[in-house]
Amino acid sequence: MRGELKKKLEKQQYHFSGDHAAVKLCHWMKQSMLHERHCYKQEFYGMSSHRCLQMTPVVHDCTHECVFCWRVRGFEGEERRWKDPEVMLEELLAEQKLMVTGFKGDPRCQKSMYEEAREPRHVAISLAGEPTIYPYLGAFIEQCHRRGMTTFLVTNGTFPKVLMDLDPLPTQLYVTLAAPNKQIYLDACQPRVSDGWELLMRTLEALPSLDTRTVIRHTLVQELNLGWEEEYAKLDRIADPTFIEPKGFVFVGDSRKRMSIDNMPSHARVTEFGLKLANLLGIELLKEKPDSRVVLLGDKGQRTELEL
| 134 neighbors 57 (Cβ within 8 angstroms) | yes
Residue pLDDT, tens place only, 204-254: 999 999 999 999 999 999 999 999 999 999 999 999 999 999 999 887 777
- How far is C-alpha 298 from the chain's CA centre? 19
Q: pLDDT higher for 69 or 211?
A: 211
The three-point CA angle 38-282-210 to 5° equals: 70
Q: pLDDT higher for 290 or 16?
A: 290
In the predicted structure, residue 43 carries a pLDDT above the cut 60: yes
Neighbours of 85 (CB within 10 A): 21
Q: Helix 229-239 to helix 267-281 angle, to the nearest 10 degrees?
A: 60
Q: What integer pLDDT is reported at residue 76 of this predicted model?
A: 57
**Domains in the chain, please, with CATH?**
3-298 (3.20.20.70)
In the predicted structure, residue 73 carries a pLDDT above the cut 80: no
Q: Of 21-35, 188-202, 230-244, 269-283, where does mean pLDDT reach its minimum? A: 21-35
**Buried-exposed string 169-205: b where 16+ CB fall within 10 A, e elsewhere:** bbbbbbbbbbbbeeebbeebbebeeeebbebbbbbbe
